[in-house]
Chain A
């Protein structure tokens, strides 16, 4: 199967694609840079807050109070949920 392409149309519409390409490049570069920053910050927060360092530092420092606070928080949430269902 042979396809005839309209080269005149292609040449005419090239500037439109050029502008759109520039916009796409700008948008992609800014989005990639910002998302890298966002990703790095959020992953560090996740790592430090949830597991990793916090748990590790508990080995070396006294975390009894933190644990007590967590226990009280979680138990109060459970109690609240129970109240909500009864």
Chain B
């Protein structure tokens, strides 16, 4: 197994646990009356999940999912532990080799800013769009 695959598997399980909690909180926030209403009009379990629970649960859990996605992006710095040359590892290498701490850290900050800022803007846009799907709005 390559180090990239190892990193993907590790990050997936790390992120998956947080995403599960985010989704679970969203699903549990859907009112019981909604489920009962769905059952009363004869929806099956799958239809209930697809048309009643998931749209509302997604709208509720989008903010925490976005926060988790940004957290996961920043958490990629941990893959340096398995010798994958990510941003943090490159910066540490350059500091170790050339003793140019300020330059290396400046580039590191700029690189993370370039990565995180568009993602953050995209997620806030998605959040605004999905909010219209919440029940009662």
Contact = CB atoms under 8 A, between A and B. Distances in A.
A25 to B, nearest CB: 7
A32 interface: yes
A10 B8 contact: no
Interface of B: 4, 7-8, 11-24, 26-28, 32, 35-36, 39, 45, 48-49, 65, 68-69, 72-73, 76, 79, 84-87, 89-91, 94, 98, 100, 102-104, 106-108, 111, 114-115
B14 to A, nearest CB: 8
Given A6-B100, A9-B98, A39 B73 contact: no
B103 A27 contact: no
Contact of B4 (A19, A25, A27, A60): A27
Contacts of A10: 103, 106-107
A interface residue count range (under 10 / 10 to 19 / 20 to 34 / 35 or more): 35 or more
Interface of chain A, main secondary structure:
helix
- Interface centre among A5, A19, A23, A43, by most B CB within 10 Å? A43
Contacts of A21: 87, 111, 114-115
A19 to B, nearest CB: 7
Contacts of A25: 115
Contacts of B4: 23, 27
Contacts of B114: 21
B107 A43 contact: no
A56 interface: yes
A52 B35 contact: yes
Contact of B24 (A14, A16, A20, A47): A47
A17 B8 contact: no
Contacts of A30: 8, 12
A35 B19 contact: yes
A13 B86 contact: no
